[in-house]
Amino acid sequence: MVKHLNAIPTKHAKLVKWVEEWAELCEPNGIYWCDGTNTEYYALCEEMVQSGLATRLNSKLRPDCVLFRSDPSDVARVEARTYIASEKQEDAGPTNNWIAPAELKATMRELYKGCMHGRTMYVIPYSMGPVGSNIAKIGVEITDSAYVVINMHVMTRVGNKVLEVLGDDGEFVPCIHSVGKPLENGESDNGIWPCAPMEKKYIAQFPETREIWSYGSGYGGNAILGKKCLALRIATVQARDEGWMAEHMLILKLTNPEGKVKYVTGAFPSACGKTNLAMLIPTIEGWKVETVGDDIAWMKFGKDGRLYAINPENGFFGVAPGTSMQSNKNAMLSCRQETIFTNCALRENGDIWWEGIDIDLEPGEKLIDWKGNVWEAGQVDADGKPVKAAHPNARFSARGRNCPAIAPNWEDPAGVPIDAFLFGGRRPSTLPLVYQSLSWEHGVMIGSSVGSEVTAAALDVKAGTVRRDPFAMLPFCGYHMADYFAHWLEIGKVAGAKLPKIFCVNWFRKTADGRWLWPGFGDNSRVLKWIFERCDGEGKAQETAIGYMPTEDAIDRTGLDSVSDADMKELLALDVEGWKKEVASIREHYAKFGDKMPKELLAQLDALEARLAKC
Ligand code: SAT
Ligand code: MN
């Protein structure tokens, strides 16, 4: 029997048995039950600082902040090693990796055998969503990484309050995590956490039994299992079965100068400024944006037929590079204190630094880069390529409560009633700045065909190709994507539903010679204003083949000199030829889902094509 290092804080027999069985397999030194207190958080930070795994930052410049560096191979989610292990492959669908659950469990059990030698096994009871909210769900993560424990403290709600809600026999999602077997020569002594080689990493979701097994990575969504694994992959399956929605969406609160409030959620593929939009500072007089969440929304119908959303998370796991006081002041202030930094660079003064932080270094200043090497501005590698001080996917894990823009009611267990859904991607051409769907079904078609244009440099594809990322859920849907489309259509048929209006936005339009047509950032509030008005049945619009578009004078440009009348015309023009190509491209995208593709969406696409033919 593996010993418990502290008192077992629960009488939940099934939970205790499950923990002890995994301890038998993983063979840690002992089992420690996390209580979620600050004392625990800081003790673990201190332990990791002492062992050399973490660096404490300057307590004046970054109070209560620590910096971690990962193995250079363990820097992001690993989609190629992520599995939806449903009983039938068909249920995982064409967009997910699949291995039969029995086979995958046998493989992984071998890996877990003795994998925690010399380590503590932490048990983390956590709630996704305000503790006790009827929209929230409970998970319990077992991990051998103290870095994961402190990240779970920031990103979820951890501890005894959760066990109280769970009671003696409540339902929880069991989540197993290990960074992988210790190396032959013992634990890492070079200040990075251990991990397994790529071919031994597995991020596995078992949708039927609602389990998560993760092995071999200590990074982000691979290891902080409440986030993408539970709150999206497992939750999408629960939501389908229980009639609610688990979405990869930000949630923002929009208040007009008269004090009237609307709540908006939005799904965007990565690198489209989702966190920036969630924390936007409006450039129009009297308008206010407050943050409810920046990544995930869980929504259930209220008695009034409206969809109420909670943010299942407790913090922000934000991409650091590119974040500055200029691009996202609220994010910068959120990570001023009590923040965990990963793979950022370290300054001589004990502060962090990254590309695009907009803070000048001292002349000749030497940093420690994310690999632990000395770094200087202008440094190039053997091939003459610039060396980055921070990894491009370097992160800050910041507490929601430290965000100056956090909405006072962001933790309301009842959630907030949603007025509008936004979908968007990076589309330099064709898609206008904003348009509104003609109906729910038409809006579902828009969501199902979300995409971003990729550059030839980024991926092994032709420049100008659109990478489709339906509902920004491609790596996060726990079942067949076409069945998920069908679930969206089902939501539209719920009796008495008062559904949000659906909009498509595109901040990324360029002219033919490559100039940005729209300034983005705070000026996106101008588009939010039109959306707000449309939700009230106001806002000037015209019905076009693709949906309701703002008239050329409908978007408030007060004080915005950089967008001329001609630019506005271009931003809101209907590019019929471009749209005909778009229809063909969506048709190809839909073909990948075969027979499961809902007929209603194909009919929506046909109808769009027919409308365009008449233009
Ligand atoms: O690593 S996470 O999955 O948490 C963040 C992301 O890649 O979107
Ligand atoms: Mn995300």
pLDDT, tens digit (0-9, with 9 covering 90-100), for 30-48: 999 999 999 999 999 999 9
Identify which ligand lies nearest to the alpha carbon of 224: 1
Q: Which atom of ligand 1 lies nearest, measured to the CA of 295?
A: 8
Report whether residue 317 contacts ligand 1, using a CB cutoff of 6 Å. Answer: yes
Task: State the pLDDT at residue 271.
Answer: 87
pLDDT, tens digit (0-9, with 9 covering 90-100), for 405-442: 999 999 999 999 999 999 999 999 999 999 999 999 99
Q: What is the dihedral of CA 426, 430, 433, 434, to 10 degrees?
A: -100
User: What would the mean pLDDT of 392-414 be, rounded to a whole number?
Assistant: 98
Nearest CA to ligand 1 atom 6: 221
The region, left, alpha or beta by phi > 0 then psi within -120 to 50, assigned to residue 356 is: left
Distance between CA atoms of residues 475 and 473, nearest Å? 6
User: What would the mean pLDDT of 520-547 be, rounded to a whole number?
Assistant: 97
Task: State the pLDDT at residue 35.
Answer: 98
Q: How far is CA 362 from the centre of its chain?
A: 34
Task: State the pLDDT at residue 68.
Answer: 98
Concatenated DSSP letters of 440-506:
HHHHHHHHHT-EEE--TTTSSS-TT-EEE-GGG-TTT-SS-HHHHHHHHHHHTTSTT-BPPEEEEE-
Q: How far is the CA of 226 from the centre of ligand 2 (A)?
A: 12
What one-letter code names the amino acid at 378?
G
pLDDT, tens digit (0-9, with 9 covering 90-100), for 187-219: 666 788 899 999 999 999 999 999 999 999 999
Task: State the pLDDT at residue 467.
Answer: 94
Identify which ligand lies nearest to the alpha carbon of 472: 2
Distance between CA atoms of residues 121 and 25, nearest Å? 11
Report whether residue 480 contacts ligand 1, using a CB cutoff of 6 Å. Answer: no
Q: State the catalytic residues.
A: 272
Q: Do the Cβ atoms of 93 and 233 come closer than 8 Å?
A: no
Q: Which atom of ligand 1 lies nearest, measured to the CA of 77?
A: 1
Q: How far is the CA of 445 from the centre of ligand 1 (A)?
A: 26
Task: State the pLDDT at residue 465.
Answer: 87
Measured between its terminal Cα atoms, the distance across the chain in Å is: 74
Alpha-carbon torsion 527, 531, 536, 538, what sign?
A: positive
Q: How far is the CA of 55 from the centre of ligand 1 (A)?
A: 23
- The 10 Å CB-count burial string (b at 16+, else e) for 88-98 is eeebbbebbbb
Task: State the pLDDT at residue 86.
Answer: 98
Identify which ligand lies nearest to the alpha carbon of 249: 2
The set of residues, in sequence order, having a beta carbon less than 8 Å from that of 121 and lying 6+ positions away, is 2, 19, 22, 23, 26, 28, 30, 31, 32, 142, 143, 144
Q: How far is the CA of 157 from the centre of ligand 2 (A)?
A: 18
Alpha-carbon torsion 199, 203, 205, 210, what sign?
A: positive
Q: How far is the CA of 223 from the centre of ligand 1 (A)?
A: 10
Beta bridge partners of residue 247, listed in sequence order: 297
Report whether residue 77 contacts ligand 1, using a CB cutoff of 6 Å. Answer: yes
Nearest CA to ligand 1 atom 5: 221
pLDDT, tens digit (0-9, with 9 covering 90-100), for 449-475: 999 988 655 555 566 789 999 999 999
pLDDT, tens digit (0-9, with 9 covering 90-100), for 160-196: 999 999 999 999 999 999 999 876 555 666 788 899 9
User: What would the mean pLDDT of 330-341 be, rounded to a whole number?
Assistant: 98
Which of 68, 77, 229, 233 to mutate to test ligand 1, by most ligand atoms within 8 A of the CB atom? 77
Q: How far is the CA of 210 from the centre of ligand 1 (A)?
A: 20
Q: Which atom of ligand 1 lies nearest, measured to the CA of 317?
A: 4
Tell me which residue of 305, 203, 304, 318 sits closest to 250, measured CA to CA.
Answer: 318
pLDDT, tens digit (0-9, with 9 covering 90-100), for 148-160: 999 999 999 999 9
pLDDT category, 476, cuts 50, 70, 90? very high
Which of 228, 313, 340 to mutate to test ligand 1, by most ligand atoms within 8 A of the CB atom? 228
Backbone phi and psi for residue 187, each to the nearest 5 degrees, phi listed first? -65, 155
pLDDT, tens digit (0-9, with 9 covering 90-100), for 545-600: 999 999 999 999 999 999 999 999 999 999 999 999 999 999 999 999 999 999 99
Q: Determine which of 24-28, 119-123, 270-274 has the lowest per-residue pLDDT on average.
A: 270-274
Distance between CA atoms of residues 256 and 284, nearest Å? 10
Nearest CA to ligand 1 atom 4: 221
Give the position of tokens 């909009």: 503
Report whether residue 233 contacts ligand 1, using a CB cutoff of 6 Å. Answer: no
pLDDT, tens digit (0-9, with 9 covering 90-100), for 254-270: 999 999 999 999 999 99
Identify which ligand lies nearest to the alpha carbon of 227: 1
Report whether residue 228 contacts ligand 1, using a CB cutoff of 6 Å. Answer: yes
Mean pLDDT across the chain: 96
Report whether residue 316 contacts ligand 1, using a CB cutoff of 6 Å. Answer: no
Report whether residue 125 contacts ligand 1, using a CB cutoff of 6 Å. Answer: no
DSSP 3-state of 290: strand
Q: How far is the CA of 473 from the centre of ligand 1 (A)?
A: 12
Nearest CA to ligand 1 atom 2: 221
Task: State the pLDDT at residue 246.
Answer: 98
- The 10 Å CB-count burial string (b at 16+, else e) for 330-358 is bbbbbbebbbbbbbbbbbeebbbbbbebe
